[in-house]
Structures are given as C-alpha cells and as structure tokens.
A and B are shown apart, each in its own frame.
Chain A
C-alpha cells in the first residue's frame, strides 16, 4: 500500500497524526507530512486507512 498527502489541501487538523503518529509528522505550524518513503509497513496499513478516512480536507489518499 502506498499513500500520498497533498500539502496544498492539508489545513493542519492533525487528525492523521493523532490517529497514526507512526506514519505522520506535524510541523510547528500544525501541517502534516508522511514520515516514511515508499510502502506503508504492512502492520500499519489499517492505521493508514484510518487516517485517510478521518482527514476532513481529503488531503490523504491511497495511490496505485
């Protein structure tokens, strides 16, 4: 599984970081980024899906 976070859409709700701190970083302004490259570790796929389903700005998505 691969995911993408669109920095132009992210408004810093920090829902992703709150639910899955293993996958995301937040900066001092509250905006979020992925803290890994490549595939989501298998054991964290559920958490990645949770982050996707809770972002109010639709900023995170699964990519092929």
Chain B
C-alpha cells in the first residue's frame, strides 16, 4: 500500500502498528492523502496537527467522524445540531461547551472517584483468583460505561446495552447499517429518558440540561439529545481504550510495572506518558474553503484526520518518542486534543485511568501477556485492545 497517497486507517496491519507508518510518513510525506472514503488528509507531525486544530476558520468540526457517513446523517431532524459541542463551530460550540464543562470539573470529578474505585476494586477482586483474565473485555471495558451511566442517571444494568451501541457507532462505523442502527437505538433511548426526566427531574446531567435556560429560553430538545448522546459516545470507548492500552503496556513491560508498584511519586507523570504513547482518539475536520496547508492543496469538503496519536509520537517534540518513559518531564501531549475542542471529559478520563490502574495493580501486581495469546485491536476513530488475555501469577 502506498501510505503517502492511498492510506487506509482501517487496514488491520495499521491498526496493530500505526507507529511505523507514521514514522515513515513524517520523513517522506508528513501530510498524506487518500481518496478512499472521500478525499482526506492524514497529518503526522505535531506542529501540523496542532496548527490545524487551532485554525477553526478553515477546518470546521461540522464533520468529526473519521469514517464518513454515506448518504444522509441519521435522524437528521432529531439531531438538527449534531452532537454539540464536538460537532459544532463557534458560536454554538462556545455555549454548549460551557453547559457541559462544570459536570467534569476537577471538583466534580473528585466526587465520582469513590464509586469508580469501588467498581474497579470489585471487578479486580472477581478476576484475581483465576489463572487468566481478559484485561480488556473483563476489566477495562466494564469501567467507564458505568461511571457515565451514573453521571447521566441511567441504571447500571443498561451498561452492556450502552457499550454495544457505542461500539456500533465508533468501532463498527464502516458497517454503515450497523452504525446507523446503533445511533438510532441510542437516540430512541434518550428520547424516552427526556420525557421521563421532564416529568420526574433528578440530580443528573440530563435533568439539568432540560432545566437549563439560555437567554431566558429552554434549550432545544435536539441540543439536549445531541449532548447526552455525545457524553455517552465520547466517554466510553475512549477511556476503556486508554485503560486497556495501559494494561497491555504493563503486561509487556515488566520494568515499568515494577516501577508503578514501588514508586508512588512517578504516577502523575506516568499517567500522562501512557496517554501520550497510546493516545486512543483521532478526530476529523472538514475543509471549509480551498486552502494550501503544508504545501498540500486542500479543497473545500476534504476531510482532515486529526492525528493526535501521531503528533504525540513526533520525535521533533518528544525525545525518544517511541519509548514509554514513565517519568517524562517535558510532555505537552495532545491526547485530549488541542485548542477550543480540548476534551471536556479529560479530568474524568484521567481519574478513571489512574484509579483503574491503581486497583488492578493492588489486586493483581503480577501479570503478563498470555503466551501465544492473540491480542485484538480496534482502530479508526478510537484505538485500543478489545481482547487482552493475560496470565495472573
């Protein structure tokens, strides 16, 4: 495959090891192009990715899906505004983002920590007596969805259903029918919930959005719906992928596992380093009008794949960029994006990653990749392990 002119982000080899492809592209063609799934560009340098993220005039967030929808977006009238704030440009972006941010402030997130810890502890306790476990499916995947369910005020029993919908929308996006069905089910669910909360408001994010007034008027239902759907879609797959990749790293790097077990001080830097090295999330932008960027002739309607994961591996910015250095002291990583769309849930994601690793290591200090085991990775919009068989000893 010619990666410079015909890349395919869903190529299984690329999903398993995108790093070597990015290293080569940074040397030969730092902004690659492809006409698969429409004309799109793939930047690989930190400087380019952050510059693109900051130029919101040329590069709009109206389309942020890495795999474009074929035909009309689903449920057009119900989601008149898409999934704000992620799929919005200012001014809509500005105020819809402000509605969400206080729910994920440092203080608020500290309040979600005890339930996250209890959840992780009981999951780890359930695994630790066995000889083997799937650290992705039986642990990582179980955590974020339950925390988000709590924040949205939906019963934890629905967690598996939620996980299924989110995977349909993100992981299986190339199957247009499956993706559409997942999105429809999710929207349908929240529609019913909105009616329930209107009659019976609670303390949750959904109820609060319904009661919010902006300039004296209730906000449009389609905005509430879009925002609720976004929180679920953005908060589940992403974080479980970060937890899974970090456990994969610790299962394959004994020295780093030992260091985390013995050195409490290194944790704050180590969490950021794991986020840098295994950044799970790639977003998209759509070019607003013809523009030349880094020598590339971009046309209105082209898509840009916002390759935050590759930016974080750029040797121009990160010394030994291909190595995980747990105590890396200079780490301006952009795993949570760059500019005005900085991940609204980043405080929550960090807390979940830290607590998930703390509780796993407390219960299961010794573990390694099962011999001959097949680790499967998902990729595209979100990269992370889906099956991670480990031996506990």
Q: Which residues of A contact B (CB under 8 A)?
A: 11-15, 17-19, 26-30, 50, 53-58
Number of interface residues of B (CB under 8 A): 26
CB-CB under 8 A from A18, the residues of chain B are: 268, 272, 350
Chain A hits for B272, CB < 8 A: 15, 18, 54
Nearest CB in chain A to that of B341: its residue? A11
Q: Which of A26, A54, A55, A58 contacts B106 (CB 8 A)?
A: A26
Give the chain A neighbours of B346 by CB distance below 8 A. 13-14, 30
22 A-B residue pairs with CB within 8 Å: A12-B101, A12-B342, A13-B336, A13-B346, A14-B106, A14-B346, A15-B272, A17-B106, A18-B272, A26-B105, A28-B102, A28-B107, A29-B98, A29-B101, A30-B105, A50-B329, A53-B330, A54-B272, A54-B329, A54-B331, A55-B332, A56-B334
Residue positions of B touching A, CB distance < 8 A = 50, 98, 101-102, 104-107, 268-269, 272, 329-334, 336, 338-340, 342, 344, 346-347, 350
- A30/B98 in contact, CB under 8 A: no
Contact of B342 among A13, A17, A26 (CB under 8 A): A13
Distance in Å from the Cβ of A56 to the closest Cβ of chain B? 4
**Which residue of A13, A17, A28 contacts B101 across the interface (Cβ within 8 Å)?**
A28
Cα separation A13 to B349 with both chains bound (whole Å): 12
A17–B338 alpha-carbon span in the complex (Å): 17
Min Cβ gap A26→B in Å is 5
Q: How far is the CA of A58 from the CA of B342 in the complex (A)?
A: 14
Residues in A neighbouring B50, C-beta threshold 8 A = 56
Q: How far is it, in angstroms, between the C-alpha of A59 and the C-alpha of B50 when the chains are bound?
A: 14
